[in-house]
Structure 1
């Protein structure tokens, strides 16, 4: 079974939602048969590369609330993170364009370390000093720590076209599936879960998706057509 998760590194609920999903997955009896793939979604693609600022004033402006209210929201998110055992900086975080980070996540998928890079980027954004949006060297260090080759990371960051089409394809798919926000979880392209739901909701979704998988329907079950198998291929007789 495949679970696809559309996320953005800017998104605190994606950070929390991943942890809650993993709580459910860790207890799922068929965990070893679940493939998790992370997909790209930019919360604010209009933000220009290099245009960064502090999160609290940004939230206040975006939602028309006071900075005191925005700061209280951040403290609330910090409390939710703490309940999950996650570190969370409630002050001093920044926001920025995440397109390059998504491109690196596609590199990491090709190299088999995508989940590790997601965790590293979340940690770099939500739990550590430094910026994943304004400090390329910080991003390189996080990516290498996640298991990527430094030369590969720098090559992707230096080439704005590398994996760009893959990021845009993910975003088109999200729109086609009806995702208007993240995190957005899709199980076997049959069930969707929107938001950082409690672990119990993810447990229910995993169980339902597993129980309702469609068995393979074989056409020509007699199996008398020419085919190759473990012992080789049948040689047609003249």
Structure 2
């Protein structure tokens, strides 16, 4: 069974959601028979390459918040990530175009190294272990993920390579009704939106595996309170747990 995950490396809830999905998958009896495919989704597809700014400044501009309020927003997400065992460094994080990251992830997919590169890119962006917003740093991540350096540099040097693949993923997300990420599609039968708890992913996998409802794509699990980043780049805070 295939699980497709639309996400953006700039999305903190995608970072958290990937970890939660993997925990949910680990609890699924047929986990060895699940193929996971990561697909492209840019939160800010119109941002120019080279237009990089501090995350706190971006949050101030986007939400009209003070610097203190924007920093508190970052720290709230960081606390959630750390609760999942993920490193998250709020100091000096940057925001920029992720188009080249997505192109390189398509090369990594073709070479069977997509998951490795995705993990490295997330850690670079959220854990302060590098950068994803300049080509030299991105090339180093590609090589660290196990890709051939010459091929990595060829892809990054030509902005048309894998560009159609990125756009095709984004168009498919729109056709499926995705308005934000992370967005999970299970066997083209069920959709799960947001960084849901691990147990929601386990239940969704079980439901899709059993094929109880042979209907068009629809929700699986409880989306209420799910944290996600929307197509305008706005990232919702996670709702508190219900009693």
Q: Same fold (TM over 0.5)?
A: yes
Deviations 1:44-77 (A, max 9, x none): 0111000000001101211222221111111111
Corresponding residue for 1:94? Answer: 94
* Alignment partner of 1:108 is 2:75: no
Inter-partner Cα distance in structure 1 for 2:124 and 2:191? 28
Inter-partner Cα distance in structure 2 for 1:46 and 1:163? 17
Corresponding residue for 1:144? Answer: 143
Q: Where does structure 1 lack aligned partners over 5 or more consecutive residues? A: 216-238
Mapping for residues 4-43 of structure 1, pairs under 5 Å: 4-43=4-43
What secondary structure sits across from 1:46 in the alignment? Answer: coil
Inter-partner Cα distance in structure 2 for 1:181 and 1:88? 22
Alpha carbons 2:104, 2:155 under 8 Å: kept: yes
Inter-partner Cα distance in structure 2 for 1:130 and 1:116? 15
Q: Give the structure with higher Rg (CA).
A: 1
Corresponding residue for 1:172? Answer: 171
**TM-score (normalised: structure 2):** 0.85
1:130 Cα offset (Å): 3.7
Corresponding residue for 1:206? Answer: 205
Inter-partner Cα distance in structure 1 for 2:181 and 2:3? 14
**TM-score (normalised: structure 1):** 0.87
Give the number of equivalent residue pairs: 214
Deviations 1:127-146 (A, max 9, x none): 1254211x222111111111
RMSD: 1.3
**After TM superposition, which residue ranges in structure 1, 4 or more long, deviate above 4 angstroms?**
none
1:213 Cα offset (Å): 6.9
What secondary structure sits across from 1:69 in the alignment? Answer: helix
Mapping for residues 6-85 of structure 1, pairs under 5 Å: 6-85=6-85
Alpha carbons 2:123, 2:129 under 8 Å: kept: no
What secondary structure sits across from 1:186 in the alignment? Answer: strand
